[in-house]
Structure 1
Amino acid sequence: MNPQAVELNSIIEEKSQVVFELLSERGKKIFFPKKGILGQTAEAKGTKINATIGAAVEDDGTPMRLETIASKIALDPSLVFPYAPSFGRPDIRAKWKNMIYDKNPSLKDVVLSLPVVTNALTHGISMAGYMFLNPEDEVIVPDLFWGNYNLTLTNAYGAAITKFNLFKNGGFDLEAFEAKLNDGGIGKKVVILNFPNNPSGYTPTEAEQNSIVEIIKAAAEKGNKIVTIIDDAYFGLVYEAGIAKESIFASLCQLHENVLAVKVDGATKEDYVWGFRVGFVTYGIKNGDAELYSALESKTAGAIRGNISNAANISQSLLLAAFESQEYAEQKVTKYNIMQRRYDAVKETLQDEKYKEYFEALPYNSGYFMCVKLAEGLNGDEVRQVLIDKYSIGLISLGNVLRIAFSAVAAADVKEMFEGIYNACKECKK
């Protein structure tokens, strides 16, 4: 094992034996190389003639660039063309951390890591897998989950997805979650909590979220060591009163010494920049301190460097400029209101009892999506094909469940969409 990895492991083990034990074998071996080429490059920073980094510069010392590209970007070239650090730009990392505190007031005075920048959330989930999953480790998810977990965690790291029933009596199935978390005896547990949930568009009520936290705490008190990966891709898009507004990370990161909370979030959905590919990984554990978090950040940055090198500089610069703009908050409200109207249109349309002949909505209250469960005898893919061929409507089939991205449907088109689903189901039922 590289001595730099050993050094980081020693820090982590001294600060939290639990976190050290939760690391995968890959996570224990990874490190951010502060010596070698990167170390020599850092030492040469500020020299008159710097021939260390694998990038080209103009004769005036500015980044070399093509005007056909530079002329289309209203940013200083130094914020666009050079590599960003593998940790991410320091300024956007600090800004995002402040934004986490602003969005989750109960985190006041809680010590967290500095977020590490990833190539958006898929990459963030993958890096969490790199850090904490060994082959055949089980990852607990609800039976409605984002299918990309299969590629990022099962195919890439050999982990096994194990599911619990998500809904019971119109809400979160707390009993099923508790049973799955405590299945298999005391030991290492890995859980992914994704609220608002993809595909269902469900966020627990405040009471349900408190119960989820208590279930995890009880499991930790029994001696389980738990990694909770919080997939906050759709954070903030909650459309009903009484639904949890803060991320469950806020509770889990200060819950128990046996619970490591890993927040994976980003601008992709929150700020409507799907192609920018900027996400963040943030760590929190009860009694965690700066030294522990710095070691975890270094390991995460090492995994990123060995995977994609770094996230795009231009995307980070554009986002930081937006975050610091006076118009940012107002524009966020404007877009949120559009999403709220689309959600309201779905809710109003589904009040028509006739639809229940062929499908019923699964619980939904947030995010980009909602799902309808088809009546017995209907085949989801058959209905989907009829919708495309005859009604020019595109949906996703998940067995006998159809996922509807109302985020992409104008409020004025929602009624037509559900009428199309109704008629397609009627045809397929014959």
Structure 2
Amino acid sequence: MNPQAEELNKIIREKNPVIFELLSEKGKNIFFPKKGILGQTADAKGTKINATIGAAVEDNGSPMRLESIESNVKLDPSLVFPYAPSFGRPDIRARWKSMIYEKNPSIGNKVLSLPVVTNALTHGVSMAGYLFVDEGEKVIVPDLFWGNYNLILNHAYGAELQKYKLFKGNQLDLDAFKASLEADGIGKKILILNFPNNPTGYSPTIEEAKAITQIIKESAEKGNKIVVFSDDAYFGLVYEEGVETESIFSQLCDLHENVLAVKIDGPTKEDYVWGFRVGFMTYGIKGGDAELYTALEAKTAGAVRGNISNAANISQSLLLAAFEDPAYQAQKEAKFTIMNERYHAVKEVLKDEKYNEYFTALPYNSGYFMCVQLADGLDGELIRKILIEKYSIGIINLSNVIRVAFSAVAAADVKELFDGIYNACKDSKK
């Protein structure tokens, strides 16, 4: 093992040996290289002639660039063309951390790590898998989950997805969740919580969030060592009263010394910048301090460097400029209003009981999506094809659960959408 990895492991073991046990073999071996090329480059910063970094510069010292690209970007070239650090730009890391506290006031004065920048949330989940998942280990997920978890955690890292039933009636199946966490006895547990959930668009009520937290706490008190990946891709998009508006991370980040909370989030869905590919990983654990978190950040940045080197500088710069724009919050609220209208248009249309002949809505209250469960005897794949060919409507079929992205449907088109699904169901029976 590299001495720099051993140095980080020593800090983690001294601060909280549970975290060391939660690390995968890759996670234990990874480090951010302070020596070698990066260390020598850092030492040379500010020199008159700097021939260390693998980037080209103009004779005046500014980043070398093509005018055909620069002419389309308003930002200063220094914020666009050079590499960003593997940890992410310090300014956007600090700003995102302050925004986590602003958006989740119940965190209060709990101590968190500084977020590490990833190439959006998919990469964040992958880096969490790199750091905490060994081949053959189980990752606890609901039976309705984002399909990319399969590619990332199962196919890339060899984990087994251990599924539990998400719903019981119109509520979360907390008994199934608890049973899944208790399966296989006391030991290491890896858990993903994704709220608002993709594909269902469901977030826990305030009481359900408290119950989830209590179940995890009781599990930790029994001796389980738990790492929770909080996939907050759709954070902030809650459309009903009584639904928890904060991330479940808020309740987990200081819950117990046996529970490491990993917040995986970013502006992709929150700020409607799908192509920017910027995300963040933030850590929280009871008793966590700056030294422990610095070690975890270094391992995370090492994993990022060994995987993609660093996230795009221009995306980080554009986002930071937006966050500091006085109009930013009002613009977000305006887009939320549109999303809220689309959600309520779906709710209104589905009051028509005629649809119950062929499908019923699964619980939904937030996010980008909602799902309907097809009645027995219907073929979701056939219906999907009929919708495209006859009605020019696109949906996602998930084993006879149809996912509808109302985020991409104008409120005025919602009735046509569900009438199309209804008619395609009827057509499929002929």
* TM-score, length of structure 1 as denominator length: 1.00
Matched, 1:300 2:300: yes
Matched, 1:228 2:228: yes
TM-superposed deviation, 1:415: 0.4
* 1:28-427 equivalences in 2 (<5 Å): 28-427=28-427
TM-superposed deviation, 1:404: 0.3
* Alpha-carbon distance in structure 1 between the residues aligned to 2:253 and 2:99: 16
Q: What amino acid is aligned across from residue 408 of structure 1 in structure 2? A: A
* Alpha-carbon distance in structure 1 between the residues aligned to 2:262 and 2:429: 45
Which blocks of at least 5 consecutive residues in structure 2 are unaligned? none
TM-superposed deviation, 1:257: 0.4
- What SS does structure 2 have at the residue aligned with 1:372? strand
Q: What amino acid is aligned across from residue 284 of structure 2 in structure 1? A: G
Q: What amino acid is aligned across from residue 119 of structure 1 in structure 2? A: N
Show CA shifts across 1:278-334 (max 9, x none): 000000000100000000000000000000000000000000000000000000000
* Alpha-carbon distance in structure 2 between the residues aligned to 1:318 and 1:214: 40
* Alpha-carbon distance in structure 2 between the residues aligned to 1:45 and 1:136: 44
- What SS does structure 2 have at the residue aligned with 1:128? helix
Q: What amino acid is aligned across from residue 30 of structure 2 in structure 1? A: I
Show CA shifts across 1:321-349 (max 9, x none): 00000000000000000000000000000
Q: What amino acid is aligned across from residue 156 of structure 2 in structure 1? A: A
TM-superposed deviation, 1:353: 0.4
Show CA shifts across 1:390-420 (max 9, x none): 0000000001100000000000000000000
* Alpha-carbon distance in structure 2 between the residues aligned to 1:357 and 1:53: 65
When the two chains are superposed, the root-mean-square deviation of aligned CA atoms in Å is 0.4
Q: What amino acid is aligned across from residue 99 of structure 2 in structure 1? A: M
- What SS does structure 2 have at the residue aligned with 1:308? coil
Which residue of structure 2 aligns with residue 10 of structure 1? Answer: 10
The structure 1 segments of at least 4 consecutive aligned residues displaced by more than 3 Å after TM superposition are none
TM-superposed deviation, 1:172: 0.4
* Alpha-carbon distance in structure 2 between the residues aligned to 1:214 and 1:301: 32
- What SS does structure 2 have at the residue aligned with 1:414? helix
* Alpha-carbon distance in structure 2 between the residues aligned to 1:21 and 1:94: 29
Which blocks of at least 5 consecutive residues in structure 1 are unaligned? none
* Alpha-carbon distance in structure 1 between the residues aligned to 2:2 and 2:429: 63
TM-superposed deviation, 1:205: 0.3
* Alpha-carbon distance in structure 1 between the residues aligned to 2:8 and 2:379: 53
TM-superposed deviation, 1:169: 1.9
Overall identity of the aligned pairs, in %: 74
* Alpha-carbon distance in structure 1 between the residues aligned to 2:227 and 2:236: 23
Q: What amino acid is aligned across from residue 266 of structure 2 in structure 1? A: G
* Alpha-carbon distance in structure 1 between the residues aligned to 2:41 and 2:92: 22
Show CA shifts across 1:178-226 (max 9, x none): 0000000000000000000000000010000100000000000000000
